[in-house]
Homo-oligomer: A and B are copies of this chain.
Amino acid sequence: MHTLSEENYLKCIYRLWQDRGQKITPTAIAEWLGNNPASVVDMIRKLTDKQLIIYDKKKGVELTPQGQKDATLIVRRHRLWEVFLLEKLGYDWDEIHDIAEDLEHIKDGTLADRLDKFLGFPEYDPHGDPIPRANGKMAKRHSTTLADVKHGTLCRVAAVKDTTSAFLQYLQKLDINIGTKIQLIEKIQFDGSLVISIAGGERTTVSQKFGENILIDM
């Protein structure tokens, strides 16, 4: 079994891997985790020894099939606990991530599956991210962002990329949740700002960065 730290690295690598198709470097991992690159190099050696990753200076870090499997399970636990915290314990959107960050490391053979069943086999977590199934498969991730669509498009908030409470609280203030309908009225050439209408309401302007962190459906 893996240590808490190994699991956090695994999950980070998994995250970076499916985020973009980019090369996963020690520096990228270090930045994501807020650790020193030297520490990352140490851990890369450990995970390599455990055959969870392969590290090639050219290709960067890649998960082995076993590494993928293990990372997926951690993500599954994380997202299931998030659903539990929100739905059953009444936490807010922006509070659940940090607690799930710890709960995801509780290791028990049947815990995730029982929790899954208890929650009614949810497909998505409260941030709109798909929850890996017991068999490792999971629903498609949304990939189009609000910043990607043409002006005039009416879309539906499917997920959020950023899960910091700064962003989530801003969304709360704007009354945006998963499922909220947003119409893109205009893109400002100058800085990519977006003029939008939330749930048919009046016009609001948000930054490009904001738009890039909203994943949408149509």
Contacts and interface: CB of A to CB of B under 8 A. Distances in A.
A114 interface: yes
Q: Specify the main secondary structure of chain A where it touches its partner.
A: helix
B108 A99 contact: yes
Contacts of A99: 106, 108, 111
Interface residues of A, number: 15
Contacts of A107: 102
A74 to B, nearest CB: 15
Contact of A89 (B90, B91, B98, B111): B111
A93 to B, nearest CB: 15
A115 interface: yes
A118 interface: yes
A90 B106 contact: no
A48 to B, nearest CB: 27
Contacts of A108: 98-99
Interface string A81-122: 000000011110000001100110011100100110010000
A207 to B, nearest CB: 31
Contacts of A88: 118
B106 A89 contact: no
A99 to B, nearest CB: 5
Contact of A114 (B90, B102, B111): B90
A90 B111 CA distance: 10
Given A90-B114, A99-B108, A102-B107, 12 more contacts: A88-B118, A89-B111, A89-B114, A89-B115, A89-B118, A91-B114, A98-B108, A99-B106, A99-B111, A102-B106, A103-B103, A103-B106
5 contacts: A88-B118, A89-B114, A89-B115, A99-B106, A99-B111
